[in-house]
Amino acid sequence: MQPKPVVITTELTGRTSANLVAEVRPQVGGIIQKRLFTEGSDVKAGQVLYQIDPATYQAAMDNAKAGLSRSEANLSAIRLKADRLRELLADKAVSQQDYDDAAATLKQTQADIQYWQATVETARINLKYTSITAPIAGRIGRSNVTEGALVTAQQPTALATIQQLNPMYVDVPQSTAELLRCGTE
């Protein structure tokens, strides 16, 4: 007898699972205008999958821009008035109250500009969210909505699911006792 290596083979059942799984959900509400992918196809990260009607979000953006423009237009006149009143206050030509009112109006207008800038940014973000994009690359499954469907922000039902299949996981159940037994033979 001589020792020689022996290959031990064990057949086990296993399950494959995707490396990454992403459920696609809308971040704003509206009516789905278009589905821009084929079910079961491979999609790239950032690819537009659905288009939500952007009309109300575009109107909100236009409204915010108009408010910002109005506040910015008022700023220079209010600033000039406050500066003139400050000079006249030094000569006691106007009351302290008149200057205080002008200074407060200037600060209010500056705050309005900051408010409208933030509103424009929020509207821009919401308008961008009307194009629903793939968060990861992979194979997209069946669409759970059709064109014309009403969707809501952070709804519990996913619009579709994307699975990244390269690399894949393989889950193989094997008891520890069997694994140890195979290793000692």
- Confidence bin at 165 (pLDDT 50/70/90): confident
Q: Tell me, what amino acid is at 127?
A: L
0.85 surpassed by pTM: no
Which residue blocks in the chain are alpha helix, DSSP H? 55-90, 96-128, 176-184
61 C-beta neighbours (distance < 10 Å), count: 20
- The class level of CATH for 1-53+132-185 reads mainly beta
Q: Can you tell me the mean pLDDT for 159-181?
A: 80
| pLDDT of the residue at 93 | 86
| pLDDT of the residue at 13 | 82
Q: Which residue has the higher pLDDT, 57 or 154?
A: 57
Task: Count H helices and E strands in the chain, helices first.
Answer: 3, 8
For the stretch 25-59, pLDDT in tens is 999 999 999 999 999 999 999 999 999 999 999 99
Boundaries of every domain in the chain: 1-53+132-185, 55-129
| pLDDT of the residue at 176 | 66
CATH fold of the domain at 55-129: Helix Hairpins (1.10.287)
181 has a pLDDT exceeding 70? no
